[in-house]
């Protein structure tokens, strides 16, 4: 039951303020096949003890979680429904689910047609700086291609992930896993795998401003 690739979060608002939430995934044997699921662990005593949170629907893993403007949690997941679930209408796009009880349970999956993927890890983050009381913005990065692991792209949402109107292409060629962070000066950092012939030639760090990303168009 490994943690998902990326980061855990601490909630900042609502009934579950200060709760630590760690996204994870696990597998189960169903009809003789290994099936992946996403879930979370959470702690309400600053990590002294942990509880198992809710499990999201099958054919998902390598999940990331953010807190939305109203305290709802949003899980964003790698999606195997087209391959393992054999539902092509859900293929090659990120799976998303919401929790309104701090991760104890999760709602029905939906599939974000803007966030296309070649079945690969993605990074998902709420843009926040110390002492910031500005509008909530979400960041997402992944290889934005249905064909193969290439075109490492960072996207920006101003409406809790309903739409992603701005995007910037960080790496046109082969690229794979990535991890976003907000740096101390408010700029954005993205550490990712990338190369010329293979996505795994280098580990690359890109740094850019939120303003520059906001001006880009996907």
Helix (H) or strand (E) holding 214: helix 210-215
- The secondary structure element, H or E, covering residue 37 is strand 33-43
Cα dihedral across residues 142, 143, 145, 148: positive or negative: negative
CA-closest candidate to residue 142, choices 114, 178, 171:
178
Q: Measured between alpha carbons, how far is 3 from 5 in angstroms, rounded to an integer?
A: 6
Tell me if 118 sits within 8 A of 143, measured CB to CB: yes
Instruction: Provide the sign of the torsion angle of the four alpha carbons 68, 73, 77, 83, taken in this order.
Output: negative
State yes or no: is 201 an active-site residue.
no
Answer yes or no: are the C-beta atoms of 115 and 218 closer than 8 Å: no
- Which of 62, 67, 117, 150 is the catalytic position? 62
Catalytic residue positions, numbered: 62
């Amino acid at each position: 039951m490994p943690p998902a690739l990326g980061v855990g979060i601490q909630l900042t608002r609502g009934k579950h303020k200060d709760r630590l939430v760690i996204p994870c995934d696990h597998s189960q044997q169903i009809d003789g096949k290994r099936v992946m699921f996403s879930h979370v662990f959470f702690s309400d005593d600053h990590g002294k003890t942990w509880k198992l949170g809710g499990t999201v629907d099958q054919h998902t893993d390598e999940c990331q979680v953010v807190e939305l403007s109203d305290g709802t949690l949003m899980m964003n997941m790698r999606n195997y429904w087209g391959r393992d679930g054999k539902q092509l209408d859900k293929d090659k796009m990120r799976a998303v689910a919401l929790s309104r009880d701090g991760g104890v349970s999760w709602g029905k999956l939906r599939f974000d047609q803007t966030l296309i993927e070649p079945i690969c890890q993605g990074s998902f983050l709420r843009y926040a700086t110390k002492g910031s009381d500005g509008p909530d913005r979400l960041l997402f990065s992944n290889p934005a291609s249905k064909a193969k692991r290439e075109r490492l792209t960072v996207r920006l949402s101003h409406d809790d992930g309903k739409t992603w109107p701005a995007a910037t292409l960080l790496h046109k060629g082969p690229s794979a896993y990535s991890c976003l962070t907000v740096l101390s000066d408010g700029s954005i950092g993205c550490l990712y795998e990338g190369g010329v012939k293979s996505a795994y030639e280098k580990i690359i760090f890109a740094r850019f401003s939120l303003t520059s990303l906001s001006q880009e168009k996907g």
